[in-house]
Structure 1
Amino acid sequence: MLPATALALGVLAALLAWPVPAALARARWPRRDPLAALVCWQAIGLAGGLAIIGALLVHGLAPWGHSLPEAWWHWVTRQPSAEPVRGDHWVAQTLAAVLALELLGVLALSGVRTARTRRRHREMLELLVRPGAAAGDEALLLDHPAPVAFCIPGARPLLVLSSGMVAELDGAQLDAVVAHERAHLREHHHLLLLPFVAWRAALPVLPAAERAHDGVRDLVEMRADDVALRSLSGPDPRRTLAVAIVAAAGGAGGQVPDGALAVTGGPVAVRVRRLLAPPDPLPTPARWAALAGAVALLLVPTLLLLLPALV
């Protein structure tokens, strides 16, 4: 039974490594519901890692039992294998261990490095910024002529606006920028990005890793736009936010600290078009179908690994 399980997991891993991420990256519906699309991307990443490591592990332990729990227990307790152990079984075990350690290690290392970088930038900025009453109680003011706005997440988050941004925008536009950055902090978008930063670093030759990182990065910016709009008033909050994004993009480009989330993140032109000509919301049945698909992606490899032990 384990060889069939390994084959099924291998096929699933191959699908999640290329065609499924490619299809989601090309799809139009994520722009209509960034939150549901973010859930799908997280499910693809988790299920893909579980499938490839599970396929290798199941194949490597197949001679020791008819299910993964049984085979693992027999292997750990050094019981004799029921079938001959070939070289490919040892190779599969080694690859499973190496891949698991690499993915988890790179994730931990990326988290530590990002936290250290953010802490260093935070400590430096705290020496340079001052309260900015014109930009709201939460935002701090950085003396810089270019229009810049960003937030540094963490245990002590910072929301920073430059003096150039305050001079460039009116009160409503500044409120829109602050609302966008506040959405990043409140919804912990940096945590949604971290696994895909690690995936890209661990598997740089895999096109899906780059595609997934870019897709998630773009979607968190669209999600922050959507959340910001809910708190904005005025006759045309969408145009207000779009003007603020264009002003920041035209004056600052990418002049933000590493590890920060900026109002100019992601595809600015796409975001501005989406604000000025918003797509129709994703219908409720389609949204639930996307969420159900994400849950199914997580359940399939889990069931493939555990079901043989129950039959």
Structure 2
Amino acid sequence: MLPATAAALAVLAALLAWPVPAWLSRARWPRRDPLVALVCWQAIGLAGGLSIIGALLVHGLAPWGHSLPEAWWHWVTRHPAEAPVRGDHWVTQTLAAVLAAELLGVLVLSWVRTARTRRRHRDLLELVVEPAAVPDARLLDHPAPVAFCIPGAKPLLVLSSGMVAELDEEQLAAVVAHERAHLREHHHLLLLPFVAWEAALPVLPAAGRAHAAVRALVEMRADDVALGSLTGAAPRRTLAQAIVVAAGGSGGAGVPDGALAVTGSALGERVARLLEPPSPLPGWVRTAALLSAVALLLVPTALLLLPAAL
């Protein structure tokens, strides 16, 4: 029966709203493979949303059928309910609609606001920057060492004159490679769902914890991608030194809202990770983590689409 499906989805939603994000944010293995950890976080966010909205919707439509598609179709076509319709069914239908509208609305609103902010900053910067010696970068006349990128349809990579003066050639190349990694892998899109999650559910501690964890992992991933394109005797030390110089000179000041910067998040942990790299995840652990992420998406989807009798 659908009530059992609703209960299963509710249990899954509860797990994904608190204990699972809390465990993953405290785990040490994500720093060993940020990409796999980011996949897991995306799966948690999507599966959590599907589960909580699905649990409410399944319970609300339970009198109309034995599967969500069947019940929904009967409800839309005004087919008579197969079981008594109580007040709690109407309440959960309303809550499902309100929660879905809030989550999707906040996601769209966050995207629109962030895109507008980035466009405004990009337009202002275009008035004051000039071409830099580094290809595809712009030079900003600013004494503090600052480097950031503004993603979007027209991405912008900005280096301050202070950054160019403070860093040697290899360190500057490391910073540029880090920012290019953000742009190439569209890390701003990985952050957006968690910005929206935190904005939509500010009272949920897991939302803030998830956002902070994903911000740190995005920076670690950019570090890893940057290292793959660097030459020199000690690229890890070079990038770590560049991060320290940038953090010491500006501490993130001068970076516009919506931009991604080399001093973005988890500075101490990132520097320690660069200087003392953790061992890579064993292949079986990576496979298990990725399969778990896939399972997180498949379980609520199957519960929502398959007949309850199955």
Contact 2:146 2:252 in 1 (8 A): no
State whether structure 2 residue 254 is matched by structure 1 residue 246.
no
Aligned to 2:98: 98
Quote how far apart the aligned CAs of 1:289 are.
0.6
| Alignment partners' CA distance in 2, 1:28 and 1:176 | 25
- Confirm or deny that 1:280 pairs with 2:273: no
Partner of 2:233: 235
Deviation string 1:202-258 (CA, Å, 9 cap, x unpaired) is 110111110110011000000000000000000100000000000000111122000
Instruction: Quote the residue 2:199 is aligned against.
Output: 201
The yes-or-no answer on 1:297 pairing with 2:287 is no
State the superposition RMSD in angstroms. 0.8
**Residue in 2 aligned with 1:109?**
109
Equivalent position of 2:143 in the other structure: 145
Q: What letter corresponds to residue 4 of structure 1 in structure 2?
A: A
The one-letter code of the counterpart of 2:119 is: R
Decide whether the 8 Å contact of 1:128 with 1:142 is kept in 2.
yes
The 1-side partners of 2:48 and 2:308 are apart by: 22
1:23 counterpart residue number:
23
Three-state SS of the structure 2 residue aligned to 1:160 is strand
Q: Once the 2 structures are TM-superposed, how far is the Cα of residue 309 of structure 1 from its aligned partner? A: 6.4
Measure the CA separation in 1 of the matches of 2:224 and 2:95. 42
Alignment of 1:62-211 (within 5 A): 62-133=62-133, 136-211=134-209
- Equivalent position SS for 1:254: coil
1:265 is the counterpart of 2:264: yes
Q: Give the conservation status (yes or no) of the 8 Å contact 2:121–2:256.
A: yes
How far, CA to CA, are the matches of 1:121 and 1:74 in structure 2? 50
| 2-structure distance, mates of 1:170, 1:287 | 37
Query: Does the aligned pair in 2 maintain the 1:70–1:309 contact within 8 Å?
Result: no
Name the stretch that deviates more: 258-267 or 63-72: 63-72
Q: Are the equivalent residues in 2 in contact too, given 1:248–1:264 (CA < 8 A)?
A: yes
Contact in 2 for aligned 1:148/1:162 (Cα 8 Å): yes
C-alpha separation between the residues in 2 aligned to 1:64 and 1:156? 49
Distance 1:305 1:48 in 2: 13
1:40-79 map, 5 Å: 40-79=40-79
Deviation, structure 1 residue 307: 1.8
Residue identity opposite 2:74 in structure 1? H
Unaligned runs of 5+ in 1: none
Cα displacement (A) at 1:174: 0.2
Cα pair 1:16 1:48 within 8 Å, conserved: yes
Distance 2:297 2:205 in 1: 21
- The amino acid that maps onto 1:201 is A
The amino acid of 1:303's aligned partner reads: A
| Aligned residues of 2:2 and 2:308 also touching (Cα < 8 A) | no
Which deviates more, 69-78 or 6-15? 69-78
8 A Cα contact 2:66 2:309, kept in partner? no
The letter for the 2-side match of 1:79 is H
1:278 match: secondary structure: coil
TM-score calculated relative to the size of structure 2? 0.99
State how far apart, in whole Å, the 2-side matches of 1:306 and 1:126 are: 50
CA-CA distance at 1:310 after TM superposition:
7.8
Counterpart Cα distance in 1 of 2:248 and 2:128: 24
Identity rate of aligned residues, in percent? Answer: 82
Equivalent pair of 1:151/1:160 in contact (CA under 8 Å): yes
How far apart, in 2, do the equivalents of 1:245 and 1:254 lie?
11
Partner letter of residue 101 of structure 1?
Answer: A
Rounded to whole Å, the distance in 1 between the matches of 2:285 and 2:264 is 28
Contact 1:69–1:309 (Cα < 8 Å) also in 2: no
Asked if 2 retains the 8 angstrom alpha-carbon contact of 1:57 and 1:96, the reply is yes
Deviations 1:127-162 (A, max 9, x none): 0100111xx112110000000000000010000010
Superposed CA deviations along residues 36-72 of structure 1, whole A, max 9, x for unmatched, are 0000000000000000000000000001111111111
In structure 2, how many angstroms separate the alpha carbons of the residues matched to 1:195 and 1:185? 17
Count, aligned residues = 309
Structure 1, 77-86 or 189-198: larger mean CA deviation: 77-86
- Quote the Cα distance in structure 1 between the aligned partners of 2:33 and 2:111: 27
Structure 2 SS opposite 1:154: coil
Q: Secondary structure at the match of 2:122?
A: helix
